[in-house]
Amino acid sequence: GQNIDQPTEMTATEGAIVQINCTYQTSGFNGLFWYQQHAGEAPTFLSYNVLDGLEEKGRFSSFLSRSKGYSYLLLKELQMKDSASYLCAVFNQAGTALIFGKGTTLSVSS
C-alpha cells in the first residue's frame, strides 16, 4: 500500500526560506507530486519528480531521493501569499490516480 507523512503545520516569516519534508512508502514508484492548496480553493499543481535530484521552478524547488523514500519542497523568498497547504502525493499502485498526504499548512507572517 501507500503511506505518506508530512508535518501538519509550519510557520515562517516573509523573505525567509522554508523546507517542507515528505516521506513516503509505496509499492511501485511512479513519481512524486507537490500541490498547493489555498484555504477554500482547489489544489494547484506545483511539481512532479520522477528521478532523483532537485528540480527548480522560480522560487519553488522540489527534491527527490527514491532510495530514501524522501522528498522536500523548498520555498525561497517567502511571500504572504505563500500561506497555504502544501500537499505531497504519489501515484497509486495502478498509476491511475494520486494518493495524497494530509498536507502541511504553512503560515507566513510579516
Residue listed under C-alpha cell 494547484: 44
Check binding of 7 to other proteins (CB under 8 A): no
Check binding of 24 to other proteins (CB under 8 A): no
Q: What is d(CA 44, CA 47) in angstroms, rounded to the nearest whole number?
A: 10
Check binding of 90 to other proteins (CB under 8 A): no
Check binding of 101 to other proteins (CB under 8 A): yes
Cell numbers standing for residue 9: 503545520
Identify the residue among 94, 106, 108, 110 touching other proteins (CB under 8 A): 94
Check binding of 80 to other proteins (CB under 8 A): no
In this structure, are residues 82 and 108 in contact, taking their beta carbons and an 8 Å threshold? yes
Identify the residue among 41, 52, 56, 77 touching other proteins (CB under 8 A): 41
In this structure, are residues 32 and 64 in contact, taking their beta carbons and an 8 Å threshold? yes
